[in-house]
């Protein structure tokens, strides 16, 4: 999904799948952050009673979890890094970028919480609301159209429970194009640097 099948071009890329699959009643939608989470998500999908949509990328991404100790549950997110100034809520290949962004922000004196949301639907609303209340600023990061993706899911949650400043990092309502994944991530602003910029903008709006 997303731009991660870059060389095959727009006909093989799908930056609208979260939106499409979320609209199906009863559908669980998941986007793992690394291979450890991907394996766990497949097992959880097998055990789940009902339809599940699992989205994977093609290329390797950094491993963020220890396989021996990792515990996965559908509908539950996880805090990978704590922080008090802003919460970066990311999914899929953008989780590793969010971790790198948090490191850069720390050097600038900004404390960023990093939350990995594998399950887009159902969303871990309790975790999102807690982050919003404790940090006062949210940045979402996804390899998906910012329209109707993770950012929209989080925004809906915040509107209902805790209106909060939010910035969106993702594909800005564009179709894909041919190119290596690294090129496309630069082209569509899906890098740690883009998350850093969004965080600074969100904090300035608090």
How far apart CA 150 and CA 124 sit, in angstroms, is 12
Q: What is the mean pLDDT of the chain?
A: 94
pLDDT of residue 186: 94
Give the CB-side neighbour count of residue 103, counting CA atoms within 13 A.
8
Q: Are 149 and 155 a contacting pair, CB within 8 Å? A: no
pLDDT of residue 6: 62
Residue 171 — very low, low, confident or very high, per pLDDT cuts 50/70/90? very high
Give the CB-side neighbour count of residue 59, counting CA atoms within 13 A.
15
pLDDT tens-place string over residues 59-108? 788 999 999 999 999 999 999 999 999 999 999 999 999 999 999 999 99
pLDDT of residue 131: 98
Mean pLDDT of the region 169-178: 90
Q: Which residue has the higher pLDDT, 194 or 6?
A: 194
Residues 6+ apart with CB under 8 A from 150: 18, 89, 90, 91, 117, 120, 140, 141, 142, 144, 170
Mean pLDDT of the region 153-165: 97
DSSP string, 148-187: TSHHHHHHHHHHHH---EEEEEEE-S----SS-HHHHHHH
How far apart CA 150 and CA 190 sit, in angstroms, is 14
pLDDT above 70 as % of the chain:
99
pTM given for the model? 0.95
Residues 6+ apart with CB under 8 A from 107: none
Residue 175 — very low, low, confident or very high, per pLDDT cuts 50/70/90? confident
Q: Where are the beta strands (DSSP E) in 11-164?
A: 28-30, 52-54, 78-81, 86-90, 112-116, 119-121, 137-145
Q: Which residue has the higher pLDDT, 177 or 93?
A: 93
């Amino acid at each position: 999904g997303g731009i991660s099948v870059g060389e095959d071009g727009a006909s093989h890329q799908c930056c609208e799948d979260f939106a499409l699959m979320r609209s199906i009643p009863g559908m669980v939608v998941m986007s793992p952050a690394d291979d450890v989470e991907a394996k766990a998500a497949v097992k959880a999908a097998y055990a789940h009673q009902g339809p599940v949509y699992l989205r994977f990328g093609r290329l390797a991404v950094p491993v963020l979890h220890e396989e021996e100790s990792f515990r996965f549950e559908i509908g539950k997110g996880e805090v990978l890094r704590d922080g008090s100034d802003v919460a970066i809520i990311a999914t899929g290949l953008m989780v590793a970028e969010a971790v790198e962004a948090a490191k850069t922000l720390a050097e600038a004196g900004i404390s960023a919480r990093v939350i990995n949301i594998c399950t887009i639907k159902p969303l871990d609303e309790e975790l999102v609301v807690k982050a919003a209340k404790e940090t006062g600023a949210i940045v979402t990061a996804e390899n998906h159209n910012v329209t109707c993706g993770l950012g929209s899911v989080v925004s809906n949650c915040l509107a209902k429970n805790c209106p909060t400043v939010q910035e969106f990092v993702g594909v800005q309502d564009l179709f894909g194009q041919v190119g290596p994944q690294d090129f496309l991530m630069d082209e569509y602003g899906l890098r740690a640097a883009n998350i850093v910029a969004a965080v600074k903008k969100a904090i300035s709006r608090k």
